[in-house]
Amino acid sequence: MIGASVLWHLLVGAAVAAPQLTVSRFDEAPRIDGVLDEAVWSSAQPATDFTQFLPRNGEPATERTEVRFGYDSRSLYIGVRCFDSEPDALVARTLRQDADQSNDDRIEIHLDTLHDRSNAVVFVTNPLGARADGTLLADGQEQRWDWDAVWQVETTRDSAGWTAEIAIPFDTLRFQGDAPTFGLQLERFVSRKQELMVWAPLPNDSGLETSARRVSRYGELVGLRGVEAGGRIEVRPYVKLGAGSRGGAPLEPIATGGADLKLGLTPSLVADLTANPDFSEAAVPELVTGVIGVNRFGVRLPEQRPFFREGADLFAFGDRPESFFEIPERLLLFDTRRIGLADDGVQAVPILGGARVTGRAGPLSVAALNLTTAAVSDPVTGLDEPLRNWSVLRLRSRLGGASSVGVMGLDRQDDGGGFNRAAGADLNLQLGPALRVGGYAAKTSTAGVPAGDDHAVNGDVLLQTAHFELHTVATDIGSRFDPQMGFVTRAGMRKLQVSPLLLLTPPGEFNRVYVAANWDEVVGRDFEPQSRLVQGEVFAPMASGHSLAGLVTYDREVLTEPFELYPGVVVPPGTYDLVSNLFVYGSDFDRPYGAIVWLDPGPFFGGFRFRTRLIGYWRPVPGLSLDVNWERQQISVPQGAFVSNVVNSSLTVSPSRVLSLRGTFELASDDRLIGQALLEWSYEPNAFLYVVWQEEQDLRPIGPGRPQLDGRTVSLKWTSFWGG
C-alpha cells in the first residue's frame, strides 16, 4: 500500500487550494502615472500572502507585495506595491521594450483569460517601467515572448520600495462571455536575493522549470461584469525608402511599402493578412562560422522576423527541447526560416503576400498559413528561386489539461511543377504533474523522388519530480525523409537518447546543484553505428549570482564519406573519437559588468582542438549595455591546422523606453563581416520609425560557383498602427 501511495503522489501530485481575488468596479479610471494615490485603489481587495518558489519553495516571501485589480467597461487596471527592506538595492537596468528582464527586479501578471487551465498571457515590468509581454502554452510547458500587446504601465520608486500602475484594454485580451473568470498568477522577483515569489502557491513537484509555469495551478480573478473581449481590426502599414547594393554592384534606390492586417474572427481566433512584408529591422542572423565549419550537420538559426515569431508555437511539430543538454539531432516538420530566405539563411527572397489564421475554436487550436514568394534570379549572388507557394495547416485538440493530439499538413508548390509535401500526427499525454509521454509520425513526398523510406517516427517519455528528471527519446528517420519546409539534422538514422537529471538543494552558497547526464546513440538504417554521444555535467548557480559548470563530452563519429572540416582541410572516412572537457565560469549578472569564460580542450578528428569562448557584458546605467562574444578554435588534424575566430558585439543605448539605438558588429574569420545600426523610435504605441544601416563584407575567396556576396543597405522605415 505504501508503494502505491508513493506512485500516486508521484504521478498526480497533492491537491493545492487555489486562491481567489475579487476585482473591483471603478466608477472613474485611475490616472496611469505609477502613483497609487487615487481613492479607487483603496476600495480594491489586495492580493498578499506571497510564498517563495525559489530558493525555499513554500516558505513565506521575505518582502511584502500587494496587488490590486479594478476595471471599467474599457480596461483592466492593476496597482502593484512592492515593499522592499533595501530600496536602494533594487536592480533595474532594462529600459527597452520587450528586452530581457530576467536579471532585474520585476513583477509579472499572468492571466488565463479563457480559463482553460492550460494557456496564459504574461505582462512584465520592472522598477523602470520597461514592458515585456508573452504567452504560456500547454500548461506552461512552452513559453514565448513574441506576442505584441497594447497596454500601458508607469512606475515609481520611493523609500518603501517601488510601485507600478497598469492598464490593459479589454480589446487586447481574448475571452468568452461578458462575465468571465480569469486564471490568475502573480510573480515577483527580487534580484539581489535571487528570490522568486508567487501568489498562487506552486509546489515544485514536476521539475523546477515546469513547476514554475503551471497554468493549471493558478488562482482565480472573479467579479468581472459587463465587459467585452477584443474583436477588433488592426492595420499596420509601412513605407520604406533607401538604397542598397549586393555583390559589389552600385547602390540602387529602394522605395516600397506594404501592410499587415489583423482581424479578430472570434474572441480566440485571429486572421493575419500581409502584403509585401519587410523585415529590415529584424536582428542580424547569428553567425555560425566555426560551428558549421566543425560540424558535419546543419545548424538551425533562430527566427528573428516578427511576422513569423508571433504565434509560432501553434505551428510547432517535432522534437521537444526537454533535455538539459543541447542535443545535435533535431527535427521540425515546419521551420519558418525556410520561407523568405534562401538556403544560406541570409539572402532574402521577397514575400509577395499571404494570410494566416491562428487561435482556438473550442478545444481545437488552429494554425493555417498560405504565402507566396517571388521568383528571383540574380547572377551576381547566384540566387535562383522559382515562384513558390507555401501552405501549412496545423490542428491540435486538447484531451484534458495539457494533453493533446494533433495533425499537420504542408505543401510547397513551385512554378513549373516541382513540389514538396509533408504530413504528420502527434500526441502529447500529461499523465499527471510528473509524467508525460508523447511522440509523432510524419511522411514526406517530393517531386521526382521515389516513395518509400520517407517517414519519421518518434516517441518520448518525460518524468519530472522535485529533484529528479528522466527524459527518454526514440527516433526513426527514413533515408528519403525530406521536409523541405522544415528542418532535420540528418535522415537515414535511428536514435535512442536517455537523459537523467538530479537536482540537489544543499544549504549554503550553492542552494541548487544540477547533476546531469546524457547518452545519445545513433545508428543507420541497417543498424550500422553512426555516432555515440555521452555527456556529463555539473552546474552550480550560487546564491551570490555567480555560477560554475563542468562538462565532459565523449563523441564517437563514423564518417562514411569525406568531410570538409575547413577550406582545404578534408577529413577522410573513418571512426573518430572526439572528447571535450569544458569548464565554464559565470559572474553575477546582477552586477553592472561581468563575464562568462569557457575553456574546452580535447581530441578532435584524429588531432586536437582547443576552444575558448569569452562573453563579456557592461551595463553601467539603465538603458546602456555592451555585450561582446569571442570564440576561438585552434584545430590541428593530420590533414592540416587552422585557427577559426568568431567575434560579435552589440551596443545598445536607450535614452528612454520609446527610443533606442543598437549597433551590432560580427566578424567570422575567412567568412564574412557584418555591421548593423538600428535607430528605433516608438512615437506611438505599436507604431515605429526605423533607420537602418547594414553592411556585409564577404571575406571568402571568389571562384567558380562562388559569387561575391558583399552588400550594403541604408533605409528609413515608417510603420503605423490603427486599431479599434
Q: Which residue has the higher pLDDT, 589 or 424?
A: 424
- The enclosing H or E element of 712 equals strand 711-719
**Greater model confidence, 307 or 187:** 187
Confidence of residue 359 (pLDDT cuts 50, 70, 90): confident
pLDDT value of residue 8: 34
Q: What is the pLDDT of residues 137-168, one digit of tens each?
A: 777 777 778 777 889 999 999 999 999 999 99
Give the per-residue pLDDT at 126.
Answer: 96
Beta carbons of 666 and 677 less than 8 angstroms apart: no
The grid coordinates listed for 669 are 574569420
Phi and psi at 413, nearest 5°, equal -115, 125
Rama region for 433: left / alpha / beta (φ>0; ψ in -120 to 50; rest): alpha
SS (HEC) of 655-709: EECCEEEEEEEEEECCCEEEEEEEEEEEEECCEEEEEEEEEEEECCCCECCECCC
* Interatomic CA distance for residues 330 and 522, integer angstroms: 12
SS3 90: coil
Tell me what the mean pLDDT of segment 231-251 comes to: 84
pLDDT recorded at residue 9:
39
Residue 7: predicted pLDDT: 39
- Using DSSP, state whether 718 is helix, strand or coil: strand
At residue 27, the pLDDT reads 92
Rounded Cα gap, residues 199 and 185, in angstroms: 6
CA atoms of 247 and 544, how far apart (whole Å): 50
Rg of the chain, C-alpha, whole Å:
26
Q: What is the predicted pLDDT for the residue at 2?
A: 38
For the cut 80, the answer to whether the pLDDT of residue 85 exceeds it is: yes
pLDDT at residue 282 tops 70: no
- Residue 568 has a pLDDT of 84
Task: Report pLDDT for 709.
Answer: 65
Rounded Cα distance between 697 and 247, Å, is 9
Q: Grid coordinates 487551465 are at which residue?
A: 117
| 14 pLDDT more than 50 | no
For 177-235, give the secondary structure using H, E and C. Answer: CCCCCEEEEEEEEEHHHCEEEECCCCCCCCCHHHHCCCHHHCEEEECCCCCCCCCCEEE
- CA 178, CA 701: separation in Å to the nearest integer? 65
Q: What is the DSSP letter of 41?
A: H
Residue 6 is predicted with a pLDDT of: 38
Provide the pLDDT for residue 149. 83
Lowest-pLDDT range, 26-40, 75-89, 303-317, 680-694?
A: 303-317
On the question of pLDDT at 124 being above 80, the answer is yes
pLDDT of residue 26: 96
- Confidence check: pLDDT of 444 > 50: yes
Q: What pLDDT score does 545 carry?
A: 74
pLDDT at 89 over 80: yes
The larger pLDDT score, comparing residue 506 to residue 20, is at 20
What confidence score (pLDDT) does residue 49 get?
A: 92
Mean pLDDT, residues 112-128 taken together? 91
Written as nine digits, the cell of 546 is 555567480
| Residue in 12, 6, 15 with CA at minimum distance from that of residue 430 | 12
> What pLDDT, on a 0 to 100 scale, did the predictor assign at position 48?
94
Please give the pLDDT value at position 592: 84
With cut-offs at 50, 70 and 90, classify the pLDDT of residue 183: very high
Which of 273 and 213 is assigned the larger pLDDT? 273
**CA-CA distances (angstroms) from residue 531 to 15, 576, 664?**
44, 9, 37
Q: Which three cell numbers stand for residue 396?
A: 491540435
Residue 257 vs residues 12, 307, 677, 688, 693: alpha-carbon distances, Å: 54, 15, 21, 14, 18
Instruction: Please give the distance of CA 199 from its chain centroid, rounded to a whole number.
Output: 26
Lowest-confidence segment of 1-5, 17-21, 95-99 by average pLDDT? 1-5
Q: Helix, strand or coil for residue 475? A: strand
| Cβ-Cβ contacts under 8 Å for 264 (sequence gap 6 or more) | 174, 230, 231, 232, 233, 270
List, in order, residues 6 or more apart from 36 with CB less than 8 Å away. Answer: 68, 79, 81, 163, 165
- Cell readout for 482 is 525530406
Res 344: pLDDT:
64
Structure confidence by residue, pLDDT tens digits, 263-272: 888 777 888 8
Q: Using CA atoms, how far apart are residues 473 and 462, in angstroms rounded to an integer? A: 9
pLDDT at 535: 92
Residue 286 has a pLDDT of: 45
Percent of the chain past pLDDT 70, that is, above it, reads 88
- Residue 283 is predicted with a pLDDT of 52
Write out pLDDT tens, residues 537-593: 998 888 777 888 888 999 998 888 898 888 889 999 999 999 888 888 887 767 788
Secondary structure E strands in 387-527: 388-400, 403-414, 419-432, 435-446, 455-464, 468-477, 487-488, 493-504, 513-523
pLDDT band for 384, please (50, 70, 90 cuts): confident
Residue 11: predicted pLDDT: 40
In this prediction, residue 641 has a pLDDT band, given cuts at 50, 70 and 90, of very high
Q: Mean pLDDT throughout 192-217?
A: 80
Check residues 543 and 334 and name the one with the higher pLDDT: 334
Mean pLDDT rounded to a whole number for the chain: 86
Which pLDDT belongs to residue 703? 57
Contacts (Cβ under 8 Å, ≥6 apart) of 571: 559, 562, 563, 564, 565, 605, 606, 637, 639
Q: How far apart are CA 405 and CA 437, in angstroms?
A: 12
pTM metric for this prediction: 0.79
The pLDDT score that the predictor gives to residue 326 is 64
Please give the single-letter amino acid code of residue 261.
L
CA distance 180 to 175: 7
Q: Which of 74-83, 170-179, 183-192, 292-301 has the lowest mean pLDDT?
A: 292-301
Cell of 392: 501549412
Give residue 304's pLDDT: 64
- Residue 44, pLDDT above cutoff 60: yes
